[in-house]
Amino acid sequence: MHRASLLARYTLSARCVQSSIRSKSTNVPRIVVGRRSQSTSAVSVTKEPFLNGTSSVYVEQMYESWRSDPSSVHKSWDAYFRNVDAGAAVGQAFQRPPALGTGAAVGVAAVGAAVSPVAASPQAISDHLKVQLLIRSYQTRGHNIADLDPLGINSADLDDTIPPELELEFYGLGEKDLDREFILPPTTFIAGDDKSLTLREIINRLKNIYCTHTGIEYMHLTNYEQQEWIRKRFESPHVTELTHDQKKTLFKRLIRSTKFEEFLAKKWPSEKRFGLEGCEVLIPAIKQVIDASSAGGVDSFVIGMPHRGRLNVLANVCRQPLSTILSQFSTLEPADEGSGDVKYHLGVCIERLNRQSQRNVKIAVVANPSHLEGMSIKS
């Protein structure tokens, strides 16, 4: 059913997409799609089957990239956009790309010039388009199969089915195609400076980006620049690799977070404290956000959080003196019922030096009195 739905979308005429491209040349911002004759539809579907309503946004993105830098798109798109701008009729703008053909390499011919037919494989062109759809599917649905369950019981209460769009069989591809090399579209950054990758490497990189322990859901955004910003920061090769010094800093912060909880558990085993066991990585994560933000010019941070892990945040993020925190466990003053609040509801506001950026920052953890969640509105 998914396959039928996908193929049914390949029905929009080439004239509609060409009209969109030409309208951009005359500063008309939107596509105007009118009725088309049956003969026009037949020509477009036969000679330019890659044009369809579903890919209209994709074609516009390719066209914008081509206008900025013609070399940023494949030669087939370069030839197509040149011919459309020159006024080519429906079905005459597309030329077989030399890279996909079996004949000798030829240059981009202008409209009206005699163009010798190039022996090209329609199946090869179709497979390249299928790979582009596969990349798009990982960008859209890859988070659905991300491994977000550390206990390994995702089949118990989560949907563990794999969307059919992420399977090779959905596009008619198989094991025999894994070592074939495919040209990548400009709407992905998985290849870095390379222009093409094998299908096996494409799938491996897409899985490492979208289907590991972090899910990314962003394709619903209507702003293309926002999509590109997220895509570039997640898809670029080596973007998540840490240097040796960064790993040491992360390890030290994780040790401080873990040892703080272990000390409280041994010193006051029966005291209610709402520890951070199982989520100690929260401390390195918050500190990394503060480091990066401080380096970017941010000097004030307001944190709103529940009671669990609050003491650890006060000690290792705000660097509140340990004597102040531990005195809440062994108070020397007689209890005065009805006043004050328990230790894991308290907040703090402190100014300290951020050692990574060498800039002073103000950090405030808003108090959460008696579970009233009053801090949520303030922060």
**Digit-coded pLDDT (tens) for 90-122:** 556 666 555 444 444 444 444 444 444 444 578
What are the tokens at 124?
């090869």
Q: Is 332 left (phi over 0), alpha (psi -120 to 50) or beta?
A: alpha
Tell me which H or E stretch contains 134: helix 122-141
Phi, psi of 372, deg, nearest 5: -80, -10
Q: How far apart are CA 296 and CA 120, in angstroms?
A: 51
- Bridge partners (DSSP) of residue 303 are 365
Strand order across the beta sheet in which 359-365 lies: 300-303, 359-365, 348-354
**What is the pLDDT of the chain when averaged over all its residues?**
77
pLDDT of residue 370: 63
In angstroms and rounded to an integer, the radius of gyration of the C-alpha atoms of the chain is 29
**Digit-coded pLDDT (tens) for 106-165:** 444 444 444 444 445 788 889 999 999 999 999 999 999 888 877 777 555 566 788 999
Provide CB contacts within 8 A for 56, sequence distance 6+. Answer: 12, 16, 17, 20, 31
pLDDT of residue 152: 72
Averaged over 219-233, what is the pLDDT?
A: 93
Q: How many helices (H) and strands (E) does the chain have?
A: 14, 5
Query: In this structure, are residues 127 and 182 in contact, taking their beta carbons and an 8 Å threshold?
Result: yes
What does each C-alpha distance from 315 to 134, 280, 353 come to in angstroms? 47, 13, 15
What are the tokens at 142?
């890859």
- Bridge partners (DSSP) of residue 183 are 196
**Digit-coded pLDDT (tens) for 338-354:** 545 566 677 889 999 99
Query: In this structure, are residues 186 and 65 in contact, taking their beta carbons and an 8 Å threshold?
Result: yes
Provide CB contacts within 8 A for 156, sequence distance 6+. Answer: none
Residue 361: CA count within 13 A, CB half-sphere? 27
Is 47 a residue whose pLDDT tops 60?
A: no
Q: How far apart are CA 313 and CA 366, in angstroms?
A: 12
Residue 343 has a CB neighbour count (10 Å cut-off) of: 20
What does each C-alpha distance from 198 to 71, 74, 178, 183, 206 come to in angstroms? 21, 17, 7, 9, 12
Q: How far apart are CA 111 and CA 109, in angstroms?
A: 7
Is 43 a residue whose pLDDT tops 80?
A: no
Among the listed residues 84, 87, 113, 109, the one whose alpha carbon sits nearest the alpha carbon of residue 96: 109
Choice between 20 and 240, residue whose per-residue pLDDT is larger: 240
pLDDT of residue 76: 76
Q: Is 0.85 surpassed by the pTM of this model?
A: no
DSSP state of 360: E
Phi, psi of 28, deg, nearest 5: -95, 120
**Digit-coded pLDDT (tens) for 293-322:** 999 999 999 998 888 889 999 999 999 888
